[in-house]
């Protein structure tokens, strides 16, 4: 069986798993845990070959598992019916149809995204031992899917309305492996060096502290997730440029501009009254 066939089978099974995760045949935490283990096992089966070595046993599985888990956690948050479309009220039947369309779109996004992640990580696996022209495109796609995963997981964290301290811990726990995945992909080394460990710890701590700070702001769950995703993009993006020895003043200004624009957007859309 070719790898492409394995990727298709894995993606289809996990898409089906997301559809079934809403059914209460187990307690919620066991459903999510079982799905995460399933995604890890299927991803390993799809990606494994004789070139697997060193830290790849971990780094090549982080994003597939966390993306699948994040999407599985977000799916039950989708509404079963809508009362309005944008700002216009709609009928109950129209609301049900729009909700169904939203869920179908969500599953399609998961299917395309997960398949893209498997292709990207397969390129990483090959590029770790020999030069491959697709690596540059894989870096772009991989980082985009990491950002999407950060958005999904932080949206779930903010939706359950935990304390600021728990937000700090959860964001640190979620961001650390994703930062590892993003930074490791720059040089595709067999081992994690001290410099990389220090950089991961610093960036994770920064993100967790920002999550703690904005937990006191009267912002919605979506703005909370958007602000952390923008911060992740800026910090980890600069970290990738630093590791590839391409970090320039122009690159720093570009990343900081995105952060400032998002920060201003959050300020303008936040209700500070009472």
Q: Which residue positions in the chain have pLDDT lower than 70?
A: 24-26, 85-88, 272-274
Q: What is the pLDDT of residue 25?
A: 67
Distance CA 215, CA 158 (A): 9
Q: What is the pLDDT of residue 85?
A: 65
Whether 179 and 198 have beta carbons less than 8 Å apart is answered as no
Q: What are the angstrom distances between the C-alpha of 200 and each of 187, 220, 234?
A: 15, 28, 14
Residue 216, H or E segment: none
Main-chain phi, psi angles of 89, to 5 degrees:
-70, 145
Short-list 105, 137, 127, 13, CA closest to 64? 13
């Amino acid at each position: 069986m070719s790898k492409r066939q394995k990727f298709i089978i894995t993606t289809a099974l996990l898409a089906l798993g997301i559809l079934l995760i809403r059914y209460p045949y187990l307690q919620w935490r066991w459903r999510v845990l079982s799905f995460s283990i399933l995604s890890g096992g299927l991803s390993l089966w799809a990606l494994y070959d004789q070139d697997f070595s060193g830290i790849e046993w971990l780094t090549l599985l982080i994003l597939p598992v966390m993306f699948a888990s994040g999407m599985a956690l977000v799916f039950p948050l989708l509404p079963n019916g809508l009362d309005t479309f944008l700002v216009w009220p709609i009928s109950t039947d129209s609301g049900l149809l729009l909700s169904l369309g939203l869920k179908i779109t969500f599953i399609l996004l998961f299917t395309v995204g997960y398949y893209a992640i498997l292709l990207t990580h397969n390129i990483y696996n090959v590029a770790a031992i020999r030069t491959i022209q697709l690596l540059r495109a894989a870096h772009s796609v991989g980082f985009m899917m990491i950002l999407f995963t950060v958005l999904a997981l932080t949206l779930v964290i903010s939706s359950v309305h935990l304390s600021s301290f728990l937000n700090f811990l959860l964001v640190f726990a979620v961001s650390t492996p994703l930062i590892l995945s993003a930074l490791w992909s720059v040089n595709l080394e067999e081992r994690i060096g001290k410099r990389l460990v220090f950089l991961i710890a610093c960036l994770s701590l920064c993100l967790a502290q920002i999550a703690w700070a904005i937990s006191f702001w009267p912002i919605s769950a979506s703005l909370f997730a958007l602000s952390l995703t923008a911060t992740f993009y800026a910090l980890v993006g600069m970290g990738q440029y630093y590791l590839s020895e391409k970090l320039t003043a122009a690159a720093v200004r570009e990343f900081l501009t995105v952060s400032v624009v998002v920060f201003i957007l959050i300020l303008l859309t936040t209700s500070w009254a009472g």
